[in-house]
Amino acid sequence: MADDPVRALLQMNTDQTEEDDSALVLSDEEVESDSEGQHRNLLDAITSLDKKSRIKGKVIQRSEPSLQVSPFDISSGDNGGSRVHLNDLVGSLRNTNQFSKVKTQIRKMQGRQKVMEAPLVKPQAQRIERSLAYKAAKKEVSRWTPIVRQNRQAAQLVFPLHQEPVSLPTTDSMVKTFKPSTDLEREIFEVLHGSKFAERRDHELTEAEEEALRAMSLDEAFSRRKELQKMRALQSYYAAKCAREKKIKSKKYHRIKKRSRVQAEKLAIEELHKTNPELAQEEIRKAEKLHAEERASLRHRNTGKWARSKMVMAKFDDEARQAVQEQLDKSRELTNQIRALQQDSSSDEDQGEEEEEENGKDGEAVTMETVVDDDKNPWMKSALKINSKSNQKDDPPVQEEEQPKTDDNDDEKPEEETTEENGTTEQQSLKDNKESKEQKEVITAENVAKKKRRRRSKKKKEGENGAEEEKGDWSEVLKEEKKTGKKRKRRGKKTEVDAKKSRPDGDVMERGTDEAGEVQDFDDDETMLEEGLERRKTLEEVESAAKRPDTKTNSPQRPKADSPTNPSLQKQREIVKEVHINPDKFFTIQPSKLRSSVPTYLDVDDNIDMIDFDQQRENIEEAFANDDVVSEFVEEKRKAEEAGKPKDIDLFMPGWGNWGGVGVKVDPKKRTRFRKKAPPPKPRLDWGLHHVIINEDKDEKLKTHQVRQLPKGFGSVTEFERSIRAPLGKDWNTPSAVAKLTEPKVVTRAGTIIQPISGEETFKKGKAKKMDMEGMDEGGKTDRRNRGRRDNKK
Amino acid sequence: MKIKVLSRNPDDYGRETKRDIQRLPRNYDPALHPFEAAREYTRALNATKLERVFAKPFVGALDGHRDGVNCMAKHPGSLSTLLTGACDGEIKIWNLGSRDCRRTIQAHTGFVRGMCVTPDHGNVLSIGDDKTIKMWSLTSPEAGEEEEEPVQTILGKSIFTGIDHHWKDATFATCGQTVDIWDHARAEPLRSFSWGVDSLNCVRFNPIEKHYLASCAADRSIILYDTRGSSPLRKVILNMRSNVLAWNPMEAFVFTVANEDHNLYSFDIRRLTSPFNIHMDHVNAVLDLDYSPTGREFVSGSFDKTIRIFPLEKGRSREVYHTKRMQRVFCIKWSLDNKYILSGSDETNVRIWKAKAAEKIGKLTPREESALTYSDKLKEKFQHHPQVRRIARHRHVPKEVYHLTRQTRIMKDSRRRKEENRIRHSKPGSIKKKREREKVVVAEQE
């Protein structure tokens, strides 16, 4: 295989023309020496080329590439497609052990043997080049898209866009560069910086302190340092504690905390009273002042923003209702306590140190009397409002007036009685389960209150002033009652009615408490939440009507339950009823499906819808029960018709063609003769349509000023109208608002060259970050200035 | 205990100095100021009327050329300097503040075709019909020297029709038979671009992405180039020839061309299949245009002897300027402080106009300023109301323009009618209705 390439070459040469052959031979000849024998040998070899066996092993020729070889010689163009392959040329390398590097290279080359394609035609190549370049350009330019969009949408652009940020020097920067120039400054500077008493930033102690420490003995220094450390630690603990407590959001926690604080203060005052009566008096005076302020202010009345907002929610939210209730209770408590305090002090003065229990009782009785006496006082207790209310009524039952009082007195009775009560009520309750539950709740609540009182009376024995406590208890009892009343309310009306019905009439006290509770509830609702009793009841009626059409069976019970308690209530209800059934005052309205945008499912279930509709109508009628809409509308229409009619014109002038003056009689004929009769009115458009008024006199002149088509950029007519309705001028807006509203879109300064927007400025690396920092430093002012753009943030 | 009493802080009503305006406490209760919409409408109407009353845009004319003003150049660093080149080869440098000619240079024989100031503000380059590029120093010669000599002269092979300078580097581009990129230091172009056209009439560098160039050619095409590459980027062929091209100085990919077909077309170079806006109103070929430095508007001068100002996003002009004596407007520029417009026309005059016709020139007091901004906002708010719109839109135009406008409208209507009829009477779907924008571009070549 060693002579493979040579053979190939020779083979090719034989195929070539004679001249070529000789040329190659010549070249060989040059290499070889020109001895005759050898020449002959060569000739032999050439002539016997066809016989391959002859050359084998005999002739070892050396072939060397020559520069003079014409490339055309080795063409493989027309000899039957026999191409020269690389293998033919360097195949001999395979047998040698040398040239390993070359061999690997060749192998690699052979692996990816591929023919290069012919270059494209110039126009085609250029087109590709252009399209690539265009794509790159597009991409490069596209980085501006967000900026362009931002600028187009900006509410205001201030040109030139890139202005150097103007910033005021900060204190820190001033301090850093400060150098004292005057004598005074120098002196102060020395004191602040040179003195050893000056505080140092990175040291705990001042120089002087350190020196002092050093001057001490070691033990002393240690103890001193320890002390200091302890103090510091305590301080920080305390601060942390305060911060922690401050963070607690629970209102209950704060309430309890405040209560305990107040309690502690009270105790302190009492303590003081014993030790130093003068100081105690001072304290009491302070408390009095506090209460006076409370009375003067409306702090815990339901007039505040919070309270009003809560009251709006109260209808739907039990918690809100409770919150408002609590606040009012608080105000009541606060305004009452002053009386208690006074009483307390007076009793203290009078009786000195008597038995505590008696003292408490006495105080209680007195307060009750005073409260009952001055019912004109607006700060009186809520329970006693009932009395005033009942006084206003036509026929107030005498018992009612005293009922709360008796009730309270009952509370004061020994425990055995109450237990008896309990027993009796329980016996009664066996009849009806629900009722018994109800009763139990009331009485258990009372019991709890009593237990509490007992507990406190024990405390009293330990030496506390009782009157205040007693007061508080009393109010607490009231609260308890109220709460139970509320619960009852929530249970629903039916149970309440049942309970009332089943209650024996003879049990005055029981009924009294219950009624008191109920009436009080009613009263509370009216004052705080503006939630009328009759309204709620009717709503419930409506509800029950919607649920069960057979509520009428229950209805006879109602007057029975109500009639003995509250005649006025019934009256009101009757009025409401009247409105309900007034035959004259309603339109027959067909439910129109067309106008509503809300999908109606009337077809699916007609019955339900009709019921709903009825209910809705009832609701509406209830809502407008008092204002007589229908008759008002009829009247309005009548007036409109009247105004639309042409009027007679009276052209009569007294004294014209006649004697005039006082006492001259005018001929009525003359009067009528000068009256110009109006033509008969045109038929109105809304004639026969009872529920509409069509205004026919529109202003034609106005038409020229009105926009006929919805302008571009507005989604709807209402949107456009809204844009017109909002005024811009300073008659309607504050100066700052006017300045903001009338901001021009583009602001330029005269005499300032506006350069084209520059990429270097806009896409500066880390510019955004830097700007943020600046913005933080200077309140974000520079940020806006720097961009020259104000965004649409409204 | 806090007791509330009526009290007034003297700061609220008193004045700090005697010259202060008395501070008036105001009650903003809407019940006290009724009919706000109606009152503001009246104010808007009055403001619109007043704007028309005060709309006097013509500031002054610069007289001195002996032939039509063919080209203009703004000085990038000086608002008061303006350069104009006339059809007799004369260049004049004007001081706009005092409205006088500072220098006159006889630069070329034949037309001065174009001029541009170098970004270092030192020199001005001019081209003329004499196939030369000449660089002139902007510093005036001292008293002794009387002859104006160019700093540098480059002899070209063919006529140059347009020149523009790179916004930063010391290179500039000319157009004629090819677009050539030149360096200040060399007499041979650095690079030449050609794409099958033998005559280009305008070349402009992009002011933001400074490597890009665009040119208008006589074969109705617009060609984009990148000076960094060896070949142009893209070519768009319109219905008619574009005379001038201008890049938006605030939006890198937006340019507008002034076309022979009376319209201006705004293109986004990323989407050249159709312009994103057509600006119509001229009734004859548009010869020149220039963007306002804010990039929101541009001004165009036309063969119909009018100047119009178009907002970029609107299809119609917001303002038209003309005078009896002003002839074909060959060149127009918007001053770099966004306040004035400068126009050069056939009848040798250079005119100065206000960019906002009713704007008061000079310093405004704060009250004046706030009143003006308020009335501007009112006009904007009530712009859709017919009376306000009628007054705001009313303009007087020359008879010729008026009639031509009407004529164009009739032509357009009839064309539209014809198209509609064609659609109506052919098989549904066989003829698609083309939007006006889609008709503009004939071909986009890669």
Contact assessment for residue B134 and residue B85, using Cβ atoms and an 8 Å cutoff: no
Predicted confidence at residue A586, as pLDDT, reads: 54
Max mean pLDDT among A235-249, A299-313, A316-330, A427-441 falls in A235-249
d(CA B265, CA A328): 74
Picking from B254, B337, B386, the nearest residue to A704 by CB comes out as: B386
Domain for residue B10, yes or no? no
pLDDT at residue A773, as a whole number: 42
Residue A34 above 90 pLDDT? no
Percent of chain A with pLDDT over 70: 52
**Residue-level pLDDT at A434:** 45
Contact across the interface for A738 and B370, Cβ inside 8 Å: yes
Same domain? For B75 and B161 the reply is yes
Gap between the Cα atoms of A502 and B18, Å rounded: 85
Q: What's the CATH number where B284 sits? A: 2.130.10.10
CA B91 to chain CA mean position, Å: 22
Statement to judge: residues B299 and B347 lie in one domain: yes
Give the model's pLDDT for residue A273. 81
Structure-model confidence comparison of residues A278 and B238, the more confident one:
B238
B303 in the same domain as B384: no
**A419 — pLDDT class (breaks 50, 70, 90):** very low
If asked whether residues B295 and B371 sit together in one domain, one would say no
pLDDT confidence tier of residue A659, bands split at 50, 70 and 90: confident
How confident is the model over A211-225, as pLDDT tens digits?
887 887 888 888 888
Residue A464 to residue A450: CA distance in whole angstroms: 18
**pLDDT under 50: residue ranges of chain B:** none
Q: What is the pLDDT confidence band of residue A2, given thresholds at 50, 70 and 90? A: very low
Task: Identify whether residues B192 and B100 lie together within a single domain.
Answer: yes
CB contact under 8 A, B294 and A131: no
Answer yes or no: do B123 and B238 share one domain.
Answer: yes
Residue range A342-380, pLDDT digits in tens: 444 444 444 444 444 444 344 343 333 333 344 444 444
Task: Return the top range by mean pLDDT from A545-559, A602-616, A654-668, B180-194.
Answer: B180-194
Whether B198 and B341 map to the same domain: the answer is yes
Residue B417 placed within a domain: no
Range of the domain at B381: 37-55+367-393
Global pTM value: 0.56
**B119 domain residue, yes or no:** yes
Q: Is the pLDDT of residue A39 over 90?
A: no
- Report yes or no: B397 and B320 within 8 Å, Cβ to Cβ: yes
Q: Quick check: B234 contacting A, CB < 8 Å?
A: yes
Helices A466-491 and A493-502: crossing angle, nearest 10°?
110
pLDDT-wise least confident of A58-62, A329-333, A737-741, B45-49: A58-62
Cα–Cα distance, A400 to A508 (Å, whole number): 10
Residue A751 reports pLDDT greater than 70: yes
How much is the pLDDT for A104? 83
Selected residue of A730, A743, A757 to mutate for chain B interface (largest B Cβ count, 10 A) = A757
Q: What is the pLDDT of residues A67-122, one digit of tens each?
A: 555 555 554 444 555 677 777 777 777 777 788 888 888 878 777 667 788 899 99
pLDDT tens per residue, range A629-656? 888 888 999 898 888 888 889 888 878 8
The pLDDT tens digits of the residues spanning A495-532 come to: 444 444 444 443 433 443 344 333 333 333 343 444 44
Nearest residue to B117 via CA among B125, B105, B109, B128: B125
Pull the structure tokens for residue A749: 């300064």
> B153 and B243, same structural domain?
yes
Higher pLDDT, A609 or A774: A609
Average pLDDT over residues A20-41: 57
DSSP, collapsed to helix, strand or coil, labels residue B197 as coil
Residue A282 confidence (pLDDT): 85
For residues B161 and B273, membership in a common domain is answered with: yes
Judged by CB atoms closer than 8 Å, whether chains meet at A724 and B30 is answered as no
pLDDT of residue B174: 96
The pLDDT score that the predictor gives to residue A59 is 54
Radius of gyration over every alpha carbon of chain A, rounded to an integer in angstroms: 55
Mean pLDDT (whole number) for A704-729:
92
Residue B225 has what pLDDT? 95
Judgement on whether residues B138 and B208 belong to the same structural domain of the protein? yes
Q: Whole-number mean pLDDT of chain A?
A: 66
Closest chain B residue to A788, measured at CA: B294
Residue of A nearest to B228 (CA): A133
Concatenating the DSSP letter of every residue in A478-489 gives HHHHHHHHHHHH
| d(CA B338, nearest CA chain A) in Å | 7
CB A490 within 8 A of CB A525: no
Residues of chain B with Cβ-Cβ distance to A705 below 8 Å are: 41, 385-387
Q: Å from B5 to nearest chain A CA?
A: 14
Q: What is the pLDDT of residue A769?
A: 45
Domain membership of residue B419 (yes or no) is: no
How many percent of chain A have pLDDT more than 90?
13
- Mean local confidence (pLDDT), A745-768: 85
Count: domains in chain B: 2
What is the per-residue pLDDT for B142?
A: 76
Res A653: pLDDT: 83
- The confidence score (pLDDT) of residue B302 equals 96
Please tell me whether residues B307 and B387 are part of one structural domain. Answer: no
Confidence band, pLDDT 50/70/90 cuts, at residue A391? very low
Among residues B440, B396, B348, the alpha carbon closest in space to that of B92 is found at B348
pLDDT band at A128 (very low <50, low <70, confident <90, very high): very high
Answer yes or no: do B104 and B43 share one domain.
Answer: no
* Residue B389 within a domain: yes
Predicted confidence (pLDDT) per residue in A456-492, tens digit: 555 445 444 444 444 444 444 444 444 444 444 444 4
